[in-house]
Amino acid sequence: MDIRIGLGFDSHAFADGVPLVIGGLKIDHPQGLAGHSDGDLLLHAITDALLGAVAAGDIGTFFPPTDPKWKGADSTLFLKTALEEVALAGYQIVNLDCVLIMHRPKIVPIAAQMRERVADLLDIDLKRVSIKGKTPEGLSHDGAAVAHVVVLLEGITIPNEPRVMVAETETPNEDDVETVLTGLAGDKHDISALGRKPAFDTDDLT
């Protein structure tokens, strides 16, 4: 079985005068999370987990925190790009498990809504998304929020039916079968050939 695992982490500091957005969900809270973008640490960690699972780099190489273009950016854009990379590499999400570490807000009362939003953004079933809250006991996490995400991917397999159909209609050689399958499913994607990934620039390091 062709499976991949990805790990994502992010942290942001709480600040006054900033709306709080976690997992694409706007949350009523006295403070928000400050960032170059909208500070959505959960979507950032999911984005990094997805990119990591297909070894496509990280959120900072795609959207450098030094680039004014991403100032105040909606993090759903980062997530969509990571989803494209996953699809181009030939994988789909099996499930993801997320831990949000912060004193406030409490996650349990909003977890169901957050899971729905994340599942919707990822276009997967709700049962495949787990989001848990954790109090940072004994840690110096005051004034900050942390997210950890692990994601499992599986390779998208081309159903065997076309191969069986070709084999049953004639007595083709392997080359004929491959020609028909490529016509039906397209070539296997090679993301390194797409040239989408921005060149890494050490000036982008913060």
Ligand X SMILES: C[C@@](CO)(OP(=O)(O)O)[C@H](O)COP(=O)(O)OP(=O)(O)OC[C@H]1O[C@@H](n2ccc(N)nc2=O)[C@H](O)[C@@H]1O
**What are the start-end ranges of the H helices in 123-173?**
161-169
Name the residue with tokens 């790990």. Answer: 7
Comparing CB distances to ligand X, the nearer of 61 and 95 is: 61
4 belongs to the binding site for ligand X (CB under 6 A): no
Which of 6, 32, 35, 133 forms a contact with ligand X (CB under 6 A)?
Answer: 35
Which single residue brings its beta carbon nearest to ligand X? 60
36 belongs to the binding site for ligand X (CB under 6 A): yes
Can you read off the two tokens belonging to residue 153? Answer: 């991917």
Length of the chain, in residues: 206
105 belongs to the binding site for ligand X (CB under 6 A): no
148 belongs to the binding site for ligand X (CB under 6 A): no
97 belongs to the binding site for ligand X (CB under 6 A): no
44 is in an annotated binding site: yes
Bridge partners (DSSP) of residue 20 are: 27
Task: Outline where DSSP puts E strands in the chain.
Answer: 3-16, 20-22, 25-27, 31-34, 91-101, 129-134, 144-155
Q: Reduced to 3 DSSP states, what percent helix, strand and coil does the chain have, rounded to the nearest 5?
A: 40, 25, 35
136 belongs to the binding site for ligand X (CB under 6 A): no
Min dist. Cβ of residue 22 to ligand X (A): 13
Which of 13, 58, 74, 154 forms a contact with ligand X (CB under 6 A)?
Answer: 58
140 is in an annotated binding site: no
Q: Output the known binding site.
A: 10-12, 36-37, 44, 58-60
